[in-house]
Every structure is written in C-alpha cells, then in structure tokens.
Chains A and B, each alone.
Chain A
Amino acid sequence: MNLQNLSIKRKLMLITMLTSSIALVLSSPGFLTYDLISFRHSLSQDLVTQAEIIGYNSAAAMAFKDESAATATLSALTAKEDIVGAVLYSPDGTMFAHYSRNSKPLPALLPDYAHGPGYRFVGGYLEVFHDVNLNGERLGTLFLQSDMRQWSDRARQYTTIIFVFVFASGFFALLVSSKLQKFISRPILRLEDTMRMVSVNKNYEVRAIKFYDDEIGRLIDGFNTMLSEIQQRDMALQRANDELKARTGELEGEIIHRRQTQEELLKAKHVAEDASRAKSTFLANMSHELRTPLNAIIGYSEMLEEETQDSGNLENVRDLQKIQIAGKHLLSLINDVLDLSKIEAGKMGIHLELFDISMMIEEMVATLQPALAKNSNTIQVHLADGIGVMRADITKVRQILFNLMSNACKFTDHGTVSVDVDRTAVDDQNWIRFRIGDTGIGITPKQQENLFKEFAQADVSIARKYGGTGLGLAISHRFVQLMKGHISVQSEPGRGSTFTVYLPAQVTIEPAELRYPEEPEEVSAESCEIKPDLDTILIIDDDAVVRDLMSRFLIKLGFHVVAAENGEEGLRLARQVHPLVITLDVIMPECDGWSVLHKLKADPELAEIPVIMVTVVDNEAMGFDLGASSYLVKPIDRDRLAVLIEKHRVARSSTVLKPVHERS
C-alpha cells in the first residue's frame, strides 16, 4: 500500500498520530535521562549520608579495635536492600570489619582507586568511601557498595510507563484525530463526490455544499463558480449548435437551390455555346459559300474584260467593269462583316512586325490611284524627315489608312486629299501621327457623334449615293483600339474633314496575341508588268473554277502552270516538277491543305519551295505556324498574288545575293 495514495482522512489521522507520538517519544528520553541522573545523584547522596552515619557509629569500635561491635554496626545495613557490601578498613588499609549481602566477595585491602572520600560508579555499582574520624582523627575508611537497585527499578518502571504513555497517547490521538479530521476531510470528500457526479453524469446543475469559510470553503466557491460558468457556456454552446444546425439546414437548401440554378445556367450556357458555335459555323460557311461564287464572278469578269478589250467591244467592257465593281463591293462588304464579327468575338489577332512607314504609304498611294482618278482628286503626301520605321500590325495599319483614304476620295470631288505622317511624343511615349485630310463635303457635329459606331453612316442617302457599308470607320476605330492607339476627327461641313490617328511607334500587346509577321513586300505593283521568265507554278485546289482562273491569270503573266485537284496529286506533282511556288487551298476532301503543308515542309526535298495559302479559311496564324510563306484569302486579289509570286521569283533567281525570308 502506497502511503502517498492514502485517502486524506487516513493521512490526517496518521499525521496527527505520528506527530504526537514522535513528540512524546522524543521528549520522554530527555525527561527520563534527567530524572535518572538526578535520581542517581540523590542515591549517591543518600549513600554518602548512610556512610557518614555508619562511619560515626563505628568510629568508637574502630578506636577500641572492637571488631565484633564494628561488625554488628555494619550488620544494621541488612535493612538496606541495595547495599550489597560494606567494609571498614584500618588506616593501614587492611580489612577491619565487613558486611556482605549474599556472601559477595569484597576487597580485603582498601582498593587503590579509593584515594580519598567520595563516591564513584564502578561496573554498575555505586561505591562510597568515607573516612571514619573520631574527634578529627582518622581511624580508618568505610567502604559501601550499592547495586543501585532503586535506580534500575526506577529506570525499568519509567521505560514501561513511557511505552504505555506513547501507546495510550497514540490511541487517544487516533481517537481525537478521527473525530477532528472530519473538519477537513468531510468538505473535500463531499467536493469529490460532487465532482464525480459532474464528470460522470455531465450534470452541470449540481453544486458543491460549502461547510466552513476556510480555504476549502473558498475552493468550493471557486468550483461552484466554474460550474455555473461551464453550465452557461454549455447552454450557449447548445444554443449556438442549434442555431448552426438550423443555419446548416438553410444553407443546404440554398446550396440545393443554387445547384439547380447552376445546372440550369450550365444548360443555358451549353445552349448559348451551341448557338455561338452554330453562328460561327454559319458565318464561316457563309463566307466560304459567298466568296466561292464571288471568286468566279470577279475572276471571270476580269478575264472577260481583258479579252473583250482585246477584241475591241468597248460597250461590253463597261458592263463587265460594272460586274467587277459590284462583285468587289460585295466582297468588301462580306470582309467587313467578317472582320467585325471577329472583333466582337475577340478573335481578331494581331501580329507585329517592323516596317518602313514611307514604303507603306508609297504603296498605298499607288493602290489608291484608281480611286483618286475617279473623282479627279489630287493627293499630297507629306512625310516627316526620317520618319523611319514603326512596329505594328501592318495589315491593320494599311486597312485603317486605306479606309480613311478611300473615304476621303469618295467624299471629295475635284479636290485634294492630303496625307501627313510624323512622330510626336506624348506621355513619355513615341507616337506615329497619321493625318488624312480632304476638301470634301465634311461631317456635321451631329454626324460626328455616331461616326465610329457600327452600321451608322452619316445618312441613309449617303449609302445610296456613295456606296459602302458604313463599317469602314467602325472597323478602323476597333483596329486603332486593338493597337492601343487613338482616332479622332475634325470637320466642317462643306469645307472638308481631317482624321487623325495616333499609333504607338512600338505597339505592344499580350504575348498570346502575337502572330508571325508577313513577308515584307519589297516588290512594287509595277514590277508585275515585267514579263517573267518561264517558271512553273503548282496550283493545288479542289475547286475547278479556282484552278482555271488562276491558271489563266498566271499563264498570262508568263508562268508555266501545273494544277492538282487534291493533296495527294499535289504532293506527287511537287516532287515531279519542283515548282517555283505552290499555291495551296485548305478546305479539300480527303487530304486537307494543313496536312499537305505539313507534309511539304516535312520533306527535305520540297521544304524550300515557298507555299502561298489561297483559301477562304481565315487562319493566318495556323498557316505561318506550319511554314507557309504568305497567306491570301479568297477571292483572290490578282495583283497581290502577282506581287508575291514575282517576289519569290526574284528571290530565287538571286538566292546568292539575299536570303529568301528576310524580314525588315
């Protein structure tokens, strides 16, 4: 049994008992020793007195050498039980008379250590030496020996008494402490009971009973305070829990509701996506379906016009020209609608390249000559000195400027169209400023409000009079925005208008929008007129009309033409004839244009041959990714095709002088 794990009750009793017993046990030997020492002292004093009396009584007998009288005197000691021996020694130290209890042997001569009178304790005996005197004269020595019987009896008795007292007091201490310990143990035991009740039953409503206002009483108070605190918190927790459950229920309901909504939304989204996809497909199909016949109309009318002109039937030439113009207008209309839908769908990509501004303007002016001539306008081009290069999407810049310039031509009669280009710095950034001015009809402030909005021409009548879709400025505006530029107009009705376009000298866009740049066009339109050497061009297209038109056109330009109606045949012919250039359609049955392009570029023998994509699919990026040299969208701009082919021809004939894919 471990003493430390005894109950408080037992501990208190034990402590009380042990304390009292230890106090008694420790103190009693002190008392005992003191008593025994003083008792021994009084014993010795008694014996000395005894010796004095006997010495006095035996002095005369000593003096008269009366041995029997002396012996008789000593015999009186029989009454003293503790005295075991008495001897009278003559002055010479010999035994004169003696008395011995129990015939104990006694020293016959005066012991050496008895140098003088006094007492000493020797071997458990008290011995007294006393001089026997008669009138101051020493007659001998009396020797008394006591076994201190009283002393040892007393010591024995005392020890017994102490033992009895220790046990008795221990017993009484036990009795008293067993009664008194309740003052301390009872509240603690009751507190323990209460605590057990609380911890087992989780019943926080019980309270410990307070007995006295002592430390334990305060402990109980503290415990009760804690209990009520816990009870309150328990209740609060319960309430919070209930509330939480209710809330959770609500939330679950809400979640179910939301999930339903989400599913509905998802369904709606799928429907919308399907619709969007259908719209895109429809648009792509429409553009393809519209362009293919247009291709034929424009191509054949051009051909017919040329042939008719050769035969001198001028009346028919004019009709054919009208067909051509109408077709081209329709084409531009379709292109504008497609551009706008692409912009709105956020699918309009930008590919940046560095190009020479003056060269671009020059080229545009050349292209614009027929439009200028139509209304007898003159053009004034002014480029700032050292205008140099800019980095932008050249196609879009060209389109912006072309829109503005063709508008200027359209709305001006017998006037002047001016083009000013210079550099300015605004907000620590370099800008290229294009100003296209005219002396035409001008735009009213009211018209200016909707100028850059889609499908908003200044006046319905204008559309009838001047033609156009009303999308040109809207598209230009969007393109400027795409390149983080700015477009504005200043106009006075009747006096003319000036459009100002600000574009950053270095257009920056998100990397995702980057596209491969087009080949710089170094060959001017005029060079088309130079009769080329006979070289072979391979046309791969499933459309017989396209093959026919392109063949006739290219043969006219002096090229040798080979045509294939599918990808497999195209590849075979390419290996066979090793053409100067390959034109490639995308949408073809069986093997489409992308896989043909991939195979061409994968074949080391054919990889060097430039491929011009000629297609209705508007995906320049894909074409450049796969290694196409140029990208033309149907219907074919014959002039542009001529320029591109001529460029490749020149490049091929002078491969030693300059690389084919040089980029400015």
Chain B
Amino acid sequence: MRSRRLIIVIMICFGWILGANAQALDSSDSSEYLIKAGFIYNFAQLVEWPPSTFAQPDSPIVIGILGSDPFGTTIDRIVENKKVRGRAFVIKRLKWGMDLKDCDILFVSSSEAARMDELIRSVKGMPILTIGETPSFARRGGVINLVLEDNKVRFEVNVDAAKQAGLNISSRLLALARIIPPSSADARKPE
C-alpha cells in the first residue's frame, strides 16, 4: 500500500519533470505559439467589448493577425467551434496598410515592431484589443503584451489603453497580469 503510493508519487514527479522539459524544448517554436494562441482565446473570454462593437448578438469575434503569421494553423484549431458569450471566432490574416477597424482582437506580430507606434496611433480610440509580443508594446500604448519570463509566457496590461479603447478587462485577468503604470506609458524612453 505504502510502496504503491510511493511509486505513484515518483511517477508523478517524473512525469512533471518530463512535461517541464518538453515545454522548455518547444518554447522556441510551435509550443510557444500554441500557448499564445490559447492566451488569445482566454483574453476573449475575460474582456468585454462595448455593446456597439458588434452588429448582431451572434456576430463573430474577429481576430486579426498583422504581419508574418507565427501561429500557422494552431490558432485556427484552438478557436475552431468555440464560442464566447454566443459568439464564434473568425481569423483574418492582415498585411500592413489593410483596414484594421473590422478587427476585435489584433495580434501584432513581432515583425511589425518598426511600425508599432504608427499602428497604435491608427487604432487609438477603436474598440480593438491589441495584443503584441514586442517588449515595449504595452508601454507604447498597446493593451496587452505577451512576454517570456523564465521560459514561461506572461503578459502585461496597459489599463489606460484599454480604457481608451472602451474595453472592460476582467479583474481576474488583471490579477494575473503585470500592470503597466500610466505614467510610464506617456514617458517614452529611447531604445
């Protein structure tokens, strides 16, 4: 009895170590974006858009991916057949210069880092949840920025930006996020 319990504990520990290793191994490529795609889906669940954003009660949530697509089909598989408050998901792959106002969520790929400020300015005031993966994205006016810490995906939230976009972010989400203070958002630091 006791020995069996011990074996189980050992096996669990072993499995845990294996799992951690696997996650660490894949972090550089697809597994990182698998997590990030899941995060995007989770954000949709914990963010409320202003009522005017959607034409219909069952209008889909449009996820726009700007720049080079790092997800492949991963994100399509994650949101496929999923609904949040009765709304399905639509994935749109966008290039610079394309109209962004139809998007509800805009993932800004790291490839667009150079044009970040311009982009932020262009969507300012629009009810669009902007998600970036560039280190200063949130500080510059993006709503959520995904960062890697200790091989784990974490996120920063710019509460002011969210307010400006008219988005209501759940306190549960905020509890997990690193909040970017408004003052630091205004004071632009040279890189």
**Per-residue 0/1 for A46-83: is the Cβ within 8 Å of any B Cβ (1 yes, 0 no)?**
00000000001101110111100100000000000000
Cβ contact of B176, chosen from A56, A64, A135, cutoff 8 A: A64
**Per-residue 0/1 for B1-43: is the Cβ within 8 Å of any A Cβ (1 yes, 0 no)?**
0000000110010011000000000000000000100010010
Minimum CB distance partner of B44 in chain A = A135
In contact, A59 and B172 (Cβ under 8 angstroms): yes
In contact, B15 and A94 (Cβ under 8 angstroms): yes
In contact, A135 and B8 (Cβ under 8 angstroms): no
Interface presence of A108 (CB below 8 A): yes
Taken together as a complex, chains A and B put the C-alpha atoms of A60 and B175 apart, in Å, by 9
In contact, A94 and B12 (Cβ under 8 angstroms): yes
Q: For B176, list chain A residues within 8 Å (CB).
A: 60-61, 64, 66, 69
Interface residues of B in 37-75 (CB under 8 A from A): 39, 42, 45-46
Closest CB of chain B to A86's CB: distance in Å? 18
In contact, B84 and A60 (Cβ under 8 angstroms): no
Q: Say whether, besides A60-B173, A63-B45, A69-B176, A108 and B12 are in contact (CB < 8 Å).
A: yes
Interface presence of A134 (CB below 8 A): yes
Interface presence of A109 (CB below 8 A): yes
Q: For B188, list chain A residues within 8 Å (CB).
A: none
Cβ contact of B42, chosen from A57, A64, A69, A95, cutoff 8 A: A64
**Among A57, A61, A66, which residue has the most Cβ atoms of chain B within 10 A?**
A66
In contact, B172 and A109 (Cβ under 8 angstroms): no
**Among A60, A61, A95, A137, which residue has the most Cβ atoms of chain B within 10 A?**
A60
In contact, B46 and A60 (Cβ under 8 angstroms): yes
Cβ contact of B12, chosen from A61, A65, A109, cutoff 8 A: A109
Q: For A66, list chain B residues within 8 Å (CB).
A: 176
Interface presence of B115 (CB below 8 A): no
Q: For B173, list chain A residues within 8 Å (CB).
A: 60
Interface size, chain A (Cβ < 8 Å): 17
In contact, B39 and A108 (Cβ under 8 angstroms): no
In contact, B46 and A108 (Cβ under 8 angstroms): no
Minimum CB distance partner of B174 in chain A = A60
Closest CB of chain B to A416's CB: distance in Å? 168
Q: For B172, list chain A residues within 8 Å (CB).
A: 56-57, 59-60
Q: For A57, list chain B residues within 8 Å (CB).
A: 172
Interface presence of B170 (CB below 8 A): yes
Interface presence of B189 (CB below 8 A): no
Closest CB of chain B to A76's CB: distance in Å? 12
In contact, A108 and B9 (Cβ under 8 angstroms): yes
Q: For A63, list chain B residues within 8 Å (CB).
A: 42, 45-46
**Per-residue 0/1 for A132-152: is the Cβ within 8 Å of any B Cβ (1 yes, 0 no)?**
001101000000000000000
**Which of the four size classes fits the interface of chain B?**
10 to 19
Minimum CB distance partner of A63 in chain B = B42
Interface contacts (Cβ under 8 Å), in number, total 40
In contact, A60 and B12 (Cβ under 8 angstroms): no
Q: Say whether, besides A60-B170, A60-B172, A61-B176, A134 and B42 are in contact (CB < 8 Å).
A: yes
In contact, B12 and A69 (Cβ under 8 angstroms): no
Minimum CB distance partner of B39 in chain A = A64
In contact, A109 and B45 (Cβ under 8 angstroms): no
Closest CB of chain A to B22's CB: distance in Å? 14
In contact, B42 and A109 (Cβ under 8 angstroms): no
Taken together as a complex, chains A and B put the C-alpha atoms of A94 and B8 apart, in Å, by 12
Taken together as a complex, chains A and B put the C-alpha atoms of A59 and B46 apart, in Å, by 11
Taken together as a complex, chains A and B put the C-alpha atoms of A237 and B35 apart, in Å, by 125
Minimum CB distance partner of B16 in chain A = A94
Q: For A56, list chain B residues within 8 Å (CB).
A: 172
Q: For A134, list chain B residues within 8 Å (CB).
A: 42, 45-46
Taken together as a complex, chains A and B put the C-alpha atoms of A66 and B173 apart, in Å, by 11
Taken together as a complex, chains A and B put the C-alpha atoms of A95 and B84 apart, in Å, by 27
In contact, A135 and B85 (Cβ under 8 angstroms): yes
Closest CB of chain B to A408's CB: distance in Å? 162
Minimum CB distance partner of B5 in chain A = A105
Closest CB of chain A to B145's CB: distance in Å? 14
Q: For B152, list chain A residues within 8 Å (CB).
A: 65
In contact, A108 and B45 (Cβ under 8 angstroms): no
Q: For B12, list chain A residues within 8 Å (CB).
A: 94-95, 108-109
Taken together as a complex, chains A and B put the C-alpha atoms of A323 and B15 apart, in Å, by 192
Q: For B84, list chain A residues within 8 Å (CB).
A: 135
**Among A64, A66, A94, which residue has the most Cβ atoms of chain B within 10 A?**
A64
Closest CB of chain A to B186's CB: distance in Å? 28
In contact, A109 and B8 (Cβ under 8 angstroms): yes
In contact, B175 and A69 (Cβ under 8 angstroms): yes
Q: For A95, list chain B residues within 8 Å (CB).
A: 12
Q: For B175, list chain A residues within 8 Å (CB).
A: 60-61, 69
Closest CB of chain B to A212's CB: distance in Å? 75
Closest CB of chain A to B42's CB: distance in Å? 4
Taken together as a complex, chains A and B put the C-alpha atoms of A109 and B12 apart, in Å, by 8
In contact, B45 and A135 (Cβ under 8 angstroms): yes
Minimum CB distance partner of B173 in chain A = A60
Taken together as a complex, chains A and B put the C-alpha atoms of A61 and B152 apart, in Å, by 14
Closest CB of chain B to A641's CB: distance in Å? 157
Q: For B42, list chain A residues within 8 Å (CB).
A: 60, 63-64, 134
Closest CB of chain A to B12's CB: distance in Å? 4
Taken together as a complex, chains A and B put the C-alpha atoms of A57 and B8 apart, in Å, by 30
Interface residues of A in 68-120 (CB under 8 A from B): 69, 94-95, 108-109
Minimum CB distance partner of A58 in chain B = B172
Closest CB of chain A to B98's CB: distance in Å? 30
Minimum CB distance partner of B41 in chain A = A63
Taken together as a complex, chains A and B put the C-alpha atoms of A167 and B12 apart, in Å, by 57
Q: For B46, list chain A residues within 8 Å (CB).
A: 60, 63, 134
Q: For B35, list chain A residues within 8 Å (CB).
A: 65
Taken together as a complex, chains A and B put the C-alpha atoms of A181 and B35 apart, in Å, by 86
Q: For A94, list chain B residues within 8 Å (CB).
A: 12, 15-16
Taken together as a complex, chains A and B put the C-alpha atoms of A548 and B131 apart, in Å, by 207
Closest CB of chain B to A67's CB: distance in Å? 9
Minimum CB distance partner of B35 in chain A = A65
Taken together as a complex, chains A and B put the C-alpha atoms of A547 and B39 apart, in Å, by 194
Q: Say whether, besides A60-B46, A64-B42, A108 and B85 are in contact (CB < 8 Å).
A: no
A-B contact pairs, 28 of them (CB 8 A): A59-B172, A60-B46, A60-B172, A60-B173, A60-B175, A61-B175, A61-B176, A63-B42, A63-B45, A64-B39, A64-B42, A64-B176, A65-B35, A65-B152, A66-B176, A69-B176, A94-B12, A94-B15, A94-B16, A95-B12, A108-B8, A109-B8, A134-B42, A134-B45, A134-B46, A135-B45, A135-B84, A135-B85
By a beta-carbon cutoff of 8 Å, the part of chain B in contact with chain A is 8-9, 12, 15-16, 35, 39, 42, 45-46, 84-85, 152, 155, 170, 172-173, 175-176
Apart from A60-B46, A61-B175, A63-B45: 14 A-B pairs, beta carbons within 8 A: A60-B42, A60-B170, A60-B173, A63-B46, A66-B176, A69-B176, A94-B12, A94-B16, A95-B12, A108-B12, A109-B8, A109-B12, A134-B46, A135-B45
